Each structure stands twice: as C-alpha cells, then as structure tokens.
Chains A and B, each alone.
Chain A
C-alpha cells in the first residue's frame, strides 16, 4: 500500500515538473519563463523531499535543500535581475511556433518512453514510473535551447534540462553520491554566472540579445 502511494505521488510530482517544462513552449514573455522555472524547481524540491522521506534516504533532504536555495531562490532572482537590466520582455518569433512546439514536445515525451523502456523493465523501485517523464523533460529542455532565440530563454532551457537530470537521478537511483551532487550544483552555479556575464557583454556589444545576431564567425 505504502509503495503504491509512493509510486502515485512520485509520478504525479514528476508529471507536474514536466508540465512546467512544457509550459515554456507556449509562454512568450520572459518573466513567465522565469516563473515557470521557479515553480518547476519548487515542485522538484518537493519530489526530492518526498523520495527522501518515503525512500528513507536522508541525504536527499540535503540535495532538496540545495535545490531549493539555488534553483528556486538564487537563480530566479538573478534571472529576474537580468530581465530587468536587459529590458527584454518577450520571446518574439522563436524558430518554431507554439503549436508545432507543443506537438514536438509530445513526440519527445513519447520518444522518452521508448528510450527508457529497458530501464523500466529492470528497475524495481516504486518511483520508476516517473523515469520516462524525467527523460522527457531532458529532451524538452534541449528543444527549448534549440528553438528559442533570446539568450535569456536559452539559459532557462539549460536550467530546465539540468532539472531533468536531477529528477532522473532521484527517481532512478534515489540520488547519486553526495560529493558528486555538490559538484554538480557548484558547476551549475558557476556556469550560470559565466552565462550571465556573457549575456551582459552580448547586450553591450551587439545592443540586442537575439542570438541569431551571433553570426559573424564563418570560415
């Protein structure tokens, strides 16, 4: 019974995390991107805490704590600061329009189900039903990066992809060893800071943060 509830709850949580990822594909304003990411991180924190509690793995509480501080508080704050300083409001005409994006996202989630079938077969964890959803989120994040033009939205796409990997690790293994987890958080933070610095520099030198202006380097 307990396992059943655990399984249902973790699948529900993973679905919500995935939906916040797909939400990016039909929202246009940059602030909506940031708040989707913030909410996704909050739900992800809850999923981690749930797995920590029902899976009896106290280490995951720590990971959930890091997750909350970094991705629900610190990074959204910096992202908002960036949005205000750059004055960008909308992701105007992405490479792929909304309707096609959503259809593609559906296809990506299906693909995730196909790819993760062998994993589902060998796993006996109650959380295994969420694995395809996490893999789907990784693909959706990848798609957001590829199909959006604003540097800020690409960063959000990257962070969403990163969330997908954290979710996958938690669902499939109840979390990777703590030392690696800490290293990953540090890398995400540092990587974000470099990206932030670069975005400001792109803004200063190109007077725009549309990455399709970044086309000077050829041959």
Chain B
C-alpha cells in the first residue's frame, strides 16, 4: 500500500499537468503538495526499516515487498523497500519536494511560456516517478527500465528553452546515456544467463533477493564480465570518469530545478544501481574485485573533476564537475569496508542536500544576471543578499568546512581509508580536494564581492522562494553537528546489507 502512496503521486501530478491546458499556477502547487505525499511515504518506509531494529546477515532479506502473481509475467515481489531503498527514497522525495516547490510557474516569474511550464510539469514528475521506481524495484530488470526512463524523461526538459547549447547538451546526454545504459542491460542479461544456466529458467530470477541467494554458486568468470558491463553502464549515468563527458553539459544547460534533481539525486540513483549489483557480485567473488574497480574509477573521477574545475569559466559547469568529484568520493568510500560505506552513504545524503540547494540558487542568479559566466558576475552580496548568503553557505558546505555535514562524512571517509592501509591514496585525494577547495573559494570570492554590473537591479526578486532553502541549510548544519539516532540506525542497517 505504501508503495502506491510513494509512486502514484508523481504519476498523478504528471497526468494533472497533461490534462490542464494551458498551464495554470494551481497545477504547480497541487503537484508540489503531491511531492509531500510521496515524501511522507518514503519517511514511513524509513521508519519501518529503523523500527525493525538491528539487521544481521540472516535477516537482510526481510523487508516490505509488493508483488502480484500473474502467470508468466514475473511480478512476484517486484517492489521492495529495505533500508538502502528507504534512504534513497527519502533523498529523492526530499529533494523532489524542494525542487517542486521552487519550480518555475508557482511564483510570479515570467521566465517561461505556459507551454514550457506545462511540458516541464509533465516530464519532471515522470522523471521523479522513474527515479522512485528505480530504487523501489526488486527486479533488477525493472530497475534498469526505470533508470533508462529517467534519461528519457529528463532529456525532454533539458532544452526547455531552445538554444544551441541546450539542444547540444540534450543530444549528448541521451545518446551517451542510452548507449551506456544498453551496456548495463548487457551486464544484466549476462548475470541472468549465469543464473539460468545454473538453476533453470525462473520468472523471479531477476529479483535481487533471489540473485543474492544464488550468488555464491554463480560462475566467477561470467560474473566478472557482467560487472564490468554494469559498472560501465550505470557508471555512465552516475558520472564516473571516464564516462562522465555528458554530465557537465547536461547539468549546466538544464533548467535549475532539473539540474538540482540530476546532480542531487539522479547520480545517487545510478550509484545505487551499481551498489545493488556490487552486493550480488561480492557474494559471488568476494569484495576485493569490485572494491579495486571502484577505487580506481573513483580516484580517476576526482582527478579529472578537480582539474576541470580549475579550467571552468561557468559556475553551473563548475558545480557539475564538483558533482563528479563527489561521485568519485562516494565510490571510494563504498570500497573501504564498513566504515567507508557508512561514510559514503552519509556523504551521498549530504551531497544531495547541498548540491540541490546550490543548483536551485544558480537558477536565481542566472535569471537575475542573465549569464552563467563567472567573469561577468560580481557584487552578488549587494544585488541579491539572500541568495548570496545561501550560495556562500552552500559552497562552504560543499568544500567540506565544519559545521556542515560534508565535513563529517569526508572526515569519516578519509579515516576509513587510512585505517584500511590506503594512506598514500588518501593523501593524494586530500591534495585534490584542496584544489577544489581553492577553486571554489576563489570563484565565490569573485562572485560575492565588488559592485554589481550597472544594468543589474539591486532589488532581489522572490524572497520567500529563497527563504525555503533555509530548510536545506538547517539539514546540513544538523548533520554536521550531530548524527540523529534513527539516521545512524538506518545507515548501519545499510552497511549490514552491503557488507554483511
């Protein structure tokens, strides 16, 4: 039942936007309220998971599931919500609700036409629905279908304002991600092949729970090849280097709320898909195989991202590269044993909050200054004091300063690295993080101070809209000062699921 309350609201929202022609502001408000309904369902799943107490290796299969038995359709236990899914659901619905409330068309802004707003509401909600389906699917084939659907629905709204650059970004995005995702599907087929060869055809064989039970008997050589395909495929979507080339374009050219959702949670959803497979593959091969791959690609992502940040002249691209860097960090954390996994998941949550807030703010800056070039922006503090303050807070959080959550998660992550004997690697990563630190602070300095260009009005529009983002700041500060007990329980349960 809760699955319906989680998954249906965005679908209803999309249908509502489709039916009301032309677009009216109430559609946006109703849809934002529906986003809150989804959030409530996600929180209820998280609550159920936390209430079930400490997980052990023998109880990780227990979780609320949903399925219908239709002959030959393979829908047994097709949806499932364990602690890991619940964590992602909360991220998606939380960021989703925030972006829906700050979407164009709810407030008095005149940046888009009614047709564009309608198109945006239709596809953005479907995009949210497919992300939610991806994390609640137990069937890994269905998970694949949902991840591919996120690409399709978001590609519709990247070029909301038709411009050469946004069309280019959208084309690269859909082509590269579709190809990547097709490779992930090849990996899924290979694993299914291994399962079928071992225990015959079964309709629920693509269920993650079933795969996990069979995993110890699967053939190592085949699973190794399958994981390479899966990692390249879902890694493309997660923005792991060297498959990241679409990401800076797509994230910088999208409308701000879509950038926020893509950087904030879409990357996490793709990582989640990799993580689900890592659990199965680890059960078959032991964890060192996947860990080494994740460490290698994670480090490469951080290297490429930090140096691209130095060259970046556009503040949205800069933030997009920063997302690649944090994806890399998360990958490394996932490869560092229980403490590292704990840190990586906490980092994922922190990054969702911080990055979605930053991208939403870039939308406000872009509409006010009409440029994404860093060199043309100055005097933000005078022209838009509220946005400037929030933007500075966000940047300080993302570079890992206390008292914000990312400081804690990066600290734990590095600690896990040092205690696992990766001292050199951690030192190297620390140096790369310092590069990003300097670049982001320099850019912040350039944008905040000085006098705004003469044609920029000194009056900040839509203050109430900006004020909503204080919620994100609160979240970051709370996670930086303390780790709430239910969250700690949830994360520990996830650690048990991943590294039991």
Chain A positions within 8 Å of B, measured between CB atoms, are 59, 115, 118-119, 121-124, 138, 142, 145, 151, 154, 158, 161-162, 165, 168-169, 172-174, 176-180, 183-184, 186-187, 190-191, 194-195, 197-198, 201-202, 205-206, 211, 214-217, 219
Interchain CB contact under 8 A, B152 and A194: yes
Which of A179, A194, A197, A211 contacts B74 (CB under 8 A)? A179
Interchain CB contact under 8 A, B186 and A198: no
Measured between beta carbons, the chain B residues less than 8 angstroms from A205 are 162-164, 167
Determine, out of B200-208, B344-352, B417-425, the stretch whose residues face the partner at the interface.
B200-208
CB distance from A127 to the nearest CB of B (A): 11
Determine, out of B89-97, B217-225, B274-282, B435-443, the stretch whose residues face the partner at the interface.
B217-225
Bound CA–CA A179/B146 (angstroms): 12
Interchain CB contact under 8 A, A165 and B186: yes
Which of B193, B201, B203 contacts A119 (CB under 8 A)? B193
Interchain CB contact under 8 A, A138 and B225: no
Interchain CB contact under 8 A, A198 and B139: no
- CB of B313 within 8 Å of the partner chain: yes
Bound CA–CA A214/B74 (angstroms): 43
Interchain CB contact under 8 A, A214 and B171: yes
Minimum-distance CB pairs A-B, first 10: A180-B141, A183-B145, A118-B221, A177-B74, A172-B193, A214-B168, A187-B148, A217-B249, A169-B189, A173-B196
Interchain CB contact under 8 A, A217 and B178: no
Interchain CB contact under 8 A, B186 and A217: no
Query: Given the interface contacts A138-B186, A183-B145, A216-B168, does A124 sit within 8 Å of B74 by beta carbon?
Result: no
Bound CA–CA A187/B223 (angstroms): 26
Measured between beta carbons, the chain B residues less than 8 angstroms from A174 are 196, 201
- CB of B410 within 8 Å of the partner chain: no
A-B contact pairs, 30 of them (CB 8 A): A118-B221, A121-B221, A123-B197, A124-B197, A138-B182, A138-B186, A145-B175, A168-B189, A169-B192, A172-B189, A176-B141, A177-B139, A178-B73, A179-B75, A179-B139, A180-B141, A180-B206, A183-B144, A195-B174, A198-B167, A198-B174, A202-B167, A206-B167, A214-B171, A215-B168, A216-B168, A217-B165, A217-B168, A217-B248, A217-B253
Bound CA–CA A187/B145 (angstroms): 7
Interchain CB contact under 8 A, A122 and B169: no
CB-CB contacts of B154-192 with A at 8 A, as 1s and 0s?
011001001111011111101100110011011011101
**Which interface class (under 10, 10 to 19, 20 to 34, 35 or more) fits B?**
35 or more
Residue of A nearest to B202 (CB): A177
Bound CA–CA A119/B167 (angstroms): 41
Interchain CB contact under 8 A, A119 and B222: yes
Bound CA–CA A122/B203 (angstroms): 21
CB distance from A157 to the nearest CB of B (A): 9
Measured between beta carbons, the chain A residues less than 8 angstroms from B182 are 138, 158, 161-162, 165
Which of B155, B172, B225 contacts A115 (CB under 8 A)? B225
Measured between beta carbons, the chain A residues less than 8 angstroms from B193 are 119, 123, 172-173
Residue of B nearest to A201 (CB): B167
Interchain CB contact under 8 A, A201 and B159: yes
- CB of B311 within 8 Å of the partner chain: yes
Interchain CB contact under 8 A, A190 and B197: no
Bound CA–CA A183/B185 (angstroms): 12
Query: Given the interface contacts A118-B225, A180-B144, does A194 sit within 8 Å of B192 by beta carbon?
Result: no
Measured between beta carbons, the chain B residues less than 8 angstroms from A190 are 149, 152
Which of B74, B75, B165 contacts A216 (CB under 8 A)? B165
CB distance from A54 to the nearest CB of B (A): 15
Chain B positions within 8 Å of A, measured between CB atoms, are 72-75, 78, 139, 141-142, 144-145, 148-149, 151-152, 155-156, 159, 162-165, 167-172, 174-175, 178-179, 182-183, 185-186, 188-190, 192-194, 196-197, 201, 203, 205-206, 219, 221-222, 225, 248-249, 252-253, 308, 311-314, 317
CB distance from B244 to the nearest CB of A (A): 14
Bound CA–CA A60/B390 (angstroms): 56
Bound CA–CA A172/B149 (angstroms): 25
CB distance from B26 to the nearest CB of A (A): 28
Query: Given the interface contacts A187-B152, A191-B151, does A217 sit within 8 Å of B72 by beta carbon?
Result: no
Interchain CB contact under 8 A, B185 and A184: yes
Query: Given the interface contacts A172-B189, A176-B192, does A151 sit within 8 Å of B312 by beta carbon?
Result: no
Interchain CB contact under 8 A, B167 and A180: no
Measured between beta carbons, the chain B residues less than 8 angstroms from A198 are 155, 159, 167, 170-171, 174
Query: Given the interface contacts A123-B197, A179-B142, does A118 sit within 8 Å of B167 by beta carbon?
Result: no
CB distance from B148 to the nearest CB of A (A): 4
Choose among B165, B178, B188 the residue with the greatest number of A CB atoms under 10 Å from its CB: B178
CB distance from A19 to the nearest CB of B (A): 20
CB distance from B316 to the nearest CB of A (A): 11
Residue of B nearest to A206 (CB): B164
Measured between beta carbons, the chain B residues less than 8 angstroms from A201 are 159, 162, 167
Measured between beta carbons, the chain A residues less than 8 angstroms from B225 are 115, 118-119
CB distance from A18 to the nearest CB of B (A): 15
Measured between beta carbons, the chain A residues less than 8 angstroms from B151 are 191
Measured between beta carbons, the chain B residues less than 8 angstroms from A177 are 73-74, 139, 141, 203, 205-206
Bound CA–CA A195/B173 (angstroms): 10
Measured between beta carbons, the chain B residues less than 8 angstroms from A165 are 182, 185-186, 189
Measured between beta carbons, the chain A residues less than 8 angstroms from B72 are 59, 178
Measured between beta carbons, the chain A residues less than 8 angstroms from B145 are 180, 183-184, 186-187
CB distance from B453 to the nearest CB of A (A): 22
Residue of A nearest to B165 (CB): A216
Interchain CB contact under 8 A, B142 and A176: no
Measured between beta carbons, the chain A residues less than 8 angstroms from B175 are 145, 154, 158, 195
Q: Given known contacts A178-B72, A179-B139, A180-B206, what 16 new A-B pairs fall within 8 Å (CB)?
A: A119-B225, A158-B179, A165-B182, A173-B201, A176-B141, A176-B189, A177-B203, A179-B78, A183-B144, A191-B148, A198-B174, A205-B162, A205-B163, A214-B168, A214-B171, A217-B249
Bound CA–CA A22/B453 (angstroms): 57
Bound CA–CA A169/B97 (angstroms): 39
